[in-house]
């Protein structure tokens, strides 16, 4: 009788241990699901990329400038979710001010990263504008430069310094094949020189410069080495392209360059890290120059934030 009781106790113990192990395994599996932040997720390539990530069992944080557009994007992206990835955050924030960038970071950090006990595996600095007229914010910074350059620099810096990203996180800074031959940063109101196309192209030159300097300074001084890429997202018939250049590109549902760059493991290889990609091909390796350093120092000065590895 005693042996039977002991046997039952042993079976119960094994069963409990198995259940605990299974629960731990399930919890571990859940914690390994990747988490992505995509700025400018309510339209165009940003929304398409979010949908593709969800389909690949990656959770996403949606960001936009108006609640109405955020709600609509969440609804559309969630249709691709099923039992795969899902929208785990929807954040309203205007990147035309430094306060707006900080607000986005705070909400990502507190409402998602800390609340869910997770870190970002993918950060896509996708948000960008092509403005038909010159505008400045309260700090007298022209808005194309603020949104397309200062905002991604500052958000990357805050996420990095506050340890909001996984050690192996992948960062994609979206530039463009439309670039200027140089940079002019002596007048950030751009009163001396401004046009819709020049301002946009200039900002994308600066964005590539920021990405190059971020990678090179990380490699020189940081103990943590992440994948940092920049790219032309392709000529895609987004609202921005239609407004500035007309219908000369592919449809949004074919715009998969950003998705591939943040999911395909070949882009994490050392020979690809830091590079600028066009059509998913390495177009230019990261390099520093007086111009890239000028852009970087301007971003540091105007945002008031510095990467921990930037000494």
Q: Which CATH architecture has domain 33-303?
A: 3-Layer(aba) Sandwich (3.40)
Nearest to 174 by CA among 196, 153, 199, 189: 153
Per-residue pLDDT band for 1 (boundaries 50, 70, 90) equals: very low
Rg from Cα positions in the chain: 22
Is the CB of residue 126 less than 8 Å from the CB of residue 41?
yes
94-115 confidence digits (pLDDT tens): 999 999 999 999 999 999 999 9
Mean pLDDT of 75-99: 91
Provide the H-helix boundaries in 95-170: 98-107, 115-116, 143-145, 151-161
Mean pLDDT of 17-39: 59
The C-alpha atoms of residue 229 and residue 169 are separated, in whole angstroms, by: 11
Average pLDDT, whole number, for the chain? 87
Answer whether residue 182 shows pLDDT above 60: yes
Domain boundaries, the chain: 33-303
Mean pLDDT of 251-267: 88
Nearest to 236 by CA among 177, 187, 153: 177
pLDDT at 79: 87
Mean pLDDT of 166-185: 96
Give me the torsion for CA of 119, 125, 127, 128, rounded to 10°. Answer: 160
Where are the extended beta strands (E) located within 175-298? 227-231, 276-278, 281-284
Length of the chain measured in residues: 311
Answer whether residue 130 shows pLDDT above 60: yes
Per-residue pLDDT band for 263 (boundaries 50, 70, 90) equals: very high
Give the β-pairing of 87-92 and 227-231: unpaired
Give the HSE-up count for residue 26: Cα atoms under 13 Å, Cβ half-sphere.
Answer: 6
Mean pLDDT of 15-30: 40
Q: What are phi and psi of 85, to 5 degrees?
A: -70, 170
Burial class (CB in 10 A: 0-12, 13-18, 19+), 257: buried
Structure pTM? 0.87
């Amino acid at each position: 009788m005693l042996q039977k009781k002991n046997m039952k106790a042993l079976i119960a113990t094994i069963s409990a241990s198995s259940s605990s192990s299974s629960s731990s395994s399930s919890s571990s599996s859940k914690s390994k699901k990747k988490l992505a932040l995509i700025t400018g997720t309510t339209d165009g390539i940003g929304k398409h990329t979010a949908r593709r990530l969800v389909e690949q069992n990656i959770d996403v944080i949606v960001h936009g400038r108006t609640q109405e557009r955020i709600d609509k994007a969440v609804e559309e992206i969630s249709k691709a979710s099923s039992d795969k990835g899902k929208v785990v955050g929807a954040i309203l924030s205007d990147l035309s001010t430094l306060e707006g960038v900080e607000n986005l970071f705070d909400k990502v950090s507190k409402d998602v990263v800390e609340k869910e006990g997770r870190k970002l595996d993918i950060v896509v600095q996708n948000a960008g504008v092509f403005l038909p007229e010159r505008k400045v914010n309260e700090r007298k910074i022209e808005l194309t430069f603020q949104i397309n350059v200062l905002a991604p620099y500052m958000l990357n810096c805050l996420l990095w310094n506050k340890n909001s990203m996984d050690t192996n996180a992948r960062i994609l800074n979206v530039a463009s094949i439309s670039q200027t031959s140089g940079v002019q940063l002596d007048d950030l109101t751009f009163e001396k020189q401004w046009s819709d196309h020049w301002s946009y192209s200039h900002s994308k030159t600066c964005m590539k410069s920021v990405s190059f300097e971020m990678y090179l300074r990380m490699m020189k001084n940081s103990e943590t080495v992440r994948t940092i890429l920049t790219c032309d997202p392709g000529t895609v018939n987004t609202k921005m392209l239609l407004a500035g250049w007309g219908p000369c590109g592919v449809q949004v549902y074919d715009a998969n360059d950003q998705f591939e760059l943040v999911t395909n493991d070949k882009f994490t290889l050392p020979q690809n890290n830091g590079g600028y990609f066009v059509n998913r091909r390495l177009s230019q390796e990261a390099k520093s120059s007086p111009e890239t350093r000028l852009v970087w120092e301007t971003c540091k000065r105007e945002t008031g934030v510095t990467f921990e590895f930037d000494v």
